[in-house]
Each structure stands twice: as C-alpha cells, then as structure tokens.
Amino acid sequence: MAKISINIASGSIEKKKVIVGIDLGTTNSLVAFVPKGDENAQIIPVRGNNIVPSVIHFDVHNIPAVGAFAKDKLLGDPERTIYSVKRLLGKNYKDIPQDNVNLGYRIIDDQSDNLVKVQVGAKFYNPIELSAEILKELKEQAQKTLNADVEQAVITVPAYFNESQRQATRDAGKLAGLDVLRIINEPTAASLAYGIQTQSNGHILVYDFGGGTFDVSILQIEDGVFEVLSTHGDTYLGGDDIDKAIVDYWQNKAREANFELDDFSILRHHAESAKIQLSNDPKTVFEYKINSDFNLLLDYKTLVSIAEPILEKTWNSVNRALNDAQLKHTDIHEVVLVGGSTRLPIIAEKLNNWFNQSRINNQINPDEVVALGAAIEADVLAGNRTDVLLLDVTPLSLGIETAGGLMDVLIPRNSKIPQRVGREYTTSVDGQINLKVAVFQGERELVEQNRKLGEFVLKDIPSMPAGMPKIEIQFALNADGMLQVQAKELRSGVSQKVEIQPSYGLTDAEVEQMLMAGLANAQSDVEERLLRESQNEARQIIYTTERFIDKNANLLSEDEKLGTEQRIEAVRGLLDGSDRHQLQAKIEELNDFSRPFAERLMDVAVSKALKGNRIDQMK
Ligand code: ADP
Ligand code: MG
C-alpha cells in the first residue's frame, strides 16, 4: 500500500501526505483514510489493530503509553491509567456530575473555574494534554503503517459537544502536531459513510450509542446534499453507564449475601465482559467466581432490565429529536446504528419495531463507521470529491446577556451553520461609553444558568443619552461551530470583534504552558475586575460632581469650583491607566474636598424643599 514518490528536480525521495479522519472516542479511537484514486475509506491499523482503546497509562517515570497496552493496566495500576478522558474535556470540576467522579484515577478539585486536572504520581495533566497523547499515538502509528506524512486531520465530536469542548478537541489536535481542518459531528460522519451509497432522497435517523456519549441526529438527504435537521443527546450516557449499573446490581447481590465487593475497577471490567458476552450470545449465562461461596452471575434478561432505565433516556432523546425536526417516526426512511453499545440486540429490536417502515442500517461496523465518515470528509476537504456537501447544525442556543441577567438568543439551537445573525441594542444609562458583551450558550432564560463562553467590552462609545447609541451585535458561526462575535456602535463606527474562546481561555501560545497559565489568568481576571470597578466608580463620581457644580455654580466660591475641577481632572487622568490603588486615592481626595460644601448646599436644598421647592436629585 505504501508508495514513495521521487522529486525529479531535486532527486530526493518525498513521502506522500495523507489527510486522515479521526474518531476520538470516549472509549475507543480510530483513524481512517481514503486511498488516492479510491472512493471508499479504510481504517488504518495501529500496532496491528483497527481499534485503539482511548486509555493512557503513565509508568513510574510518567512516560505515557496509549491503547491496548494501557487498557490492560486498568486492573493492576488504576491510579496511573486514565480512561474516559473525553468526558472531562473542556470542563471545570463543577461541571462534572458527582457519580462520574468515581473514576479509578484522581481528578483534582482546586475550587476554581479552571480546567479539570488529573493527578498521576507527582504530575498533573489536563484533558487536552491527555487527549493529545491519544491523537499523537494515532498520528505516529498511521505514519508508520502508511509510510506517509500525516499532518492534517478531520476529528469528530459528539453532536452535543459545546463550544469549549470543540475548542478543547482542536487544541488537543494542535498539541499532537495535527492541523485540524475541521471538527465534525459524529452522527454526521456516520451518515456520510452510509450516505455515499444512499441514492434516494429522504430522512435519516442516526442513533449513536457509544461508551460515554449518546447522540441522536436527524438528517435530510436531498440530491446528494446532507443537512442535519436536529440533534439531541447526552454527553453523560453510554455503555459505561450500563457497566456501572451491572456493578451496582452485583454489589447489591453481594451485600445481601454479606459480602464486601470493593474493587470498582475489577468489577467494571467484568461487568463489561458480561455485557459483551450476553449481547453476542443472549442464551448464555455470565459467571465470575469470587470464591467457593460466592459467584457473580448475569443473564440476558437481567441485563436488559438493568439497562432499561438507561435505554429509556435514549428513546426520550429520539422523540425530542423528532419533535425538533418536526417529523413523525413514519417520516424516517433510514435508521443508522453507530457505536459499540448498539450491538445490544434489544436496541435494533426496539428501533425495528418503532421504525418498521425504515431500513435499519448496521452493515458497516458500528465501531468504525464514524472514522470512515471522517475520512470521507477529509477526502472532500482535500478536493477529491465534489459529490458531497455538508450542512451542519448548532446543538445549543447562542446569545448574550441583557439587562437583568436575561439570555437573549441570537442563534437558536438547531440552526443551520454556517450562520450569521445581527441584532441591535442600545444603552440604558446616559453617556454610557463602555458596553459589556457577555456571550452565553444554553437553553435557560437566565444567563447564570447557562454556560458562559466569554465576554468583552466595547469601549469608547461616544457619550450619548441613554437609548441613543445603536449597537449592533453580530454572531458569525463558522462551519466548525466556532463563534465570532462583533459589536459595533453604528453612529460612531466604534467596533470590536472577538473569536470566542471557551471560558478557560486558552490561546495558541498558552497551549504549551497550560496548567500554570490557567492559574495566572484567574488572578489577573480578579485584578481586572477590581480595576474596572474602580473605573466605574470614578466615572460615576466625575459625572455626578460635574453635574452638581453646574447646577450650583452661583452658590459656590471660585476656590471651591477650581479645587473641585482640579481634583476631577486628577481622577480623569488615571481613568485609562491600570493602577487602581492610585485611582482610588484620587477618588477619595475628590470626595473629601467636595463633601463639606456638598453637605452645606444639601442643607440649603433641604430647607428650600421644606418651603415647597423641588430638590434637585443628586445621583
Ligand atoms: P465511544 O464512541 O464512546 O468511544 P464505542 O462506539 O467504541 O464508544 O463503543 C464502546 C462501547 O461499546 C463500550 O461501552 C463497550 O462496552 C460497548 N460494546 C462493545 N461491544 C459491545 C457488545 N458486543 N455489546 C454491547 N456493548 C458493546
Ligand atoms: Mg463513538
């Protein structure tokens, strides 16, 4: 398969370059490509296997090993063996549901908004670095297998991944030395793998039930064009949960027999073996001997009842996706099964009954179909096919914070991407010159319940009465699901643009010094906030004092007016600086100077008011 080309001009041997498709799975990862001149994708074997367990083991010197070798260490060396890292990707500790903290290894709660960290011996790793280890293994081994350079890739993510999880995946690729051409949704990739062969127009439902995530997506194919109509899912639902439910079941059985089963890792391993044995051969009974008095048992019927509450959630998602796409189940022509967990016979049975007019597609290996689709997308991007076009959809609404902490949605969930939307806003305070634009993602009314993606300040809006400025906020969501936000005051043309970085705020340069940078930013963020608060206070006091002097000019001495003006200028001079202590001191000076005559005039105003005149409000 390997080919070598020779550059005639230089006489040197050139390795060919291959763009790969990568399924970076929670449980297993795969890499695939489309050979030149071919149109079918193939899995690239890694150390002789198509499937690479997404597991990383660190030896005592913290040298990483990825894949089957690492998976074998789950039992013997769980504290140094990291699995399901995709579940931690782009997340803070507080984002992680409690029952998912029950891993064999240590994740660190540093009581902050920073990235989750994993502790291995004396070292700390974040999920981006860990995912990069998996990608590095795929890249390097693919290069060996193909005897080609692998520098560019398409990487898939669950449809329900949010912006920061997508960005984290991109960063992991970069860290592994890959130019990530595109991030695409796993169900989209799977349908692409099947869609090539699909001649007819119609609706496809992709049911992807893997080890750690569940997605259902509804796609439309029309004249070779794929369009995602809706997606629904749960990034915390997968075959792992079935394994855990089996462990719970066994632990209950053991407790009834006055037995203590405590090694979670070993039990998990056997639970998965039981599940796979029974789904391949439902007539057998799984048996694991603990000792002469006690056996762990499982049969298919029990397995199905244990899995039922988990499967129920997937059926609910199917209904929600159908609703979002405004389709009935009879509108679905094809059902595509993706993910190792769809090998449980009950799943195809259920979908067969439910969608009995549709074709159930499970001919392509459910473990491989996503990587194969990613490779086809890579081939499209390489310019090797013109027959396919991909339209994607955004799974969560995107919007900004407006007065009162309300979420104002600019791009609703399930909008097609790429997408560009603009909306006009204005100020609520006279002379407002700064406007904070805070960007959120989610479906709740209050921004505090949604996920904050980032914020920036539109500065130097010319001072105008409240309601006068016309501020246009524009959201541009590109084909990768990355968001660009622009704010522009239309009367003056003042504008500012940002590429939204997820809340952990990684820039390219920071990818290298990830951990420390996170901590350093947290500190400077606090400093920045304190400085802003002082600046706001300074602006407020300049505003009110100047108004006060204007209104009462004839009641003040020249010294009072001049002295006040000088002190206002001193505050103003520091307004754009970065020393908040100095600014605060000047604010105090101004306050101290104006207080005595302000109080004197207040008394006059109050006595006037008592005679029936209006008090000028001092605000
Ligand atoms: P991911 O996309 O999360 O990496 P995969 O698609 O590789 O996951 O699926 C892994 C899951 O499939 C695991 O939970 C594994 O136990 C499960 N699995 C693999 N084979 C079978 C089988 N024959 N029956 C049931 N579950 C299976
Ligand atoms: Mg998968």
Higher-confidence position of 507 and 559:
559
Is the pLDDT assigned to residue 4 strictly greater than 70?
A: no
Is the pLDDT assigned to residue 509 strictly greater than 80?
A: no
Look at 41-55, 62-76, 144-158, 421-435 and tell me which has the smallest mean pLDDT.
421-435
Look at 113-117, 134-138, 204-208, 317-321 and tell me which has the smallest mean pLDDT.
113-117
Is the pLDDT assigned to residue 519 strictly greater than 60?
A: no
Q: What is the per-residue pLDDT for 566?
A: 93
Q: What is the per-residue pLDDT for 200?
A: 65
Is the link from the previous residue into 187 a cis peptide, with omega within 30 of 0? Answer: no
- From the list 133, 163, 171, 208, the catalytic residue is 208
Q: What is the per-residue pLDDT for 327?
A: 95
Mean pLDDT over the full length of the chain: 82
Give yes or no: 565 in active site.
no
Q: Whose CA is nearest to atom 19 of ligand 1?
A: 340
Give all domains of the chain, ordered by start, each with its CATH number. 18-198+367-385 (3.30.420.40), 398-510 (2.60.34.10), 525-610 (1.20.1270.10)
Give yes or no: 379 in active site.
no
What is the pLDDT confidence band of residue 235, given thresholds at 50, 70 and 90? confident
Residues 85-110 have a mean pLDDT of 74
Q: How far is the CA of 353 from the centre of ligand 1 (A)?
A: 23
Q: What are phi and psi of 614, to 5 degrees?
A: -80, 145
Q: Tell me the range of 65-74, 407-416, 543-552 where mean pLDDT is highest.
A: 65-74
Q: How far is the CA of 177 from the centre of ligand 2 (A)?
A: 23
Q: What is the per-residue pLDDT for 527?
A: 65
CA dist 184 and 207 (Å) reads: 16
Q: What is the per-residue pLDDT for 483?
A: 83
Among 22, 24, 28, 347, say which to mutate for ligand 1: greatest number of ligand atoms within 8 Å of CB. 28
Q: What is the per-residue pLDDT for 504?
A: 38
- From the list 73, 86, 275, 488, the catalytic residue is 86
Is the pLDDT assigned to residue 202 strictly greater than 50?
A: yes
Answer whether 421's CB lies under 8 Å from 380's CB.
Answer: no
Higher-confidence position of 223 and 92:
92
Model confidence pTM above 0.75: no
What is the pLDDT confidence band of residue 515, given thresholds at 50, 70 and 90? very low
Give the ligand 1 atom nearest the CA of 240: 14
Look at 209-218, 233-242, 411-420, 421-430 and tell me which has the smallest mean pLDDT.
411-420
pLDDT in tens, 289-308: 888 888 999 999 999 999 99
Secondary element (H or E) of residue 436? strand 435-441
Answer whether 411's CB lies under 8 Å from 132's CB.
Answer: no
What is the pLDDT confidence band of residue 58, given thresholds at 50, 70 and 90? very high
Q: What is the per-residue pLDDT for 206?
A: 95
Is the pLDDT assigned to residue 182 strictly greater than 50?
A: yes
275 lines ligand 1 (CB under 6 A): yes
343 lines ligand 1 (CB under 6 A): yes
Dihedral angle computed from the Cα positions of residues 223, 225, 229 and 235, in that order, rounded to the nearest 10 degrees: 140
Q: What is the per-residue pLDDT for 392?
A: 62
What the block records as the tokens of 222 is 């029309």
Q: What is the per-residue pLDDT for 282?
A: 96
Residue 546: how many other CB atoms lie within 10 Å? 13
Query: By C-alpha distance, which of 487, 503, 505 is closest to 435?
Result: 487
Give yes or no: 223 in active site.
no
Look at 430-434, 604-608, 611-615 and tell me which has the smallest mean pLDDT.
611-615
What distance lies between CA 416 and its chain's CA centroid? Answer: 18
Answer whether 146's CB lies under 8 Å from 2's CB.
Answer: yes
Give yes or no: 36 in active site.
no
Instruction: Name the H helices within 355-390.
Output: 369-381
- From the list 186, 367, 368, 489, the catalytic residue is 186
Is the pLDDT assigned to residue 562 strictly greater than 80?
A: yes
Query: Which residues, chain by chain, have CB under 5 Å from ion ligand 2?
Result: 25, 210, 339
What the block records as the tokens of 386 is 């013109």
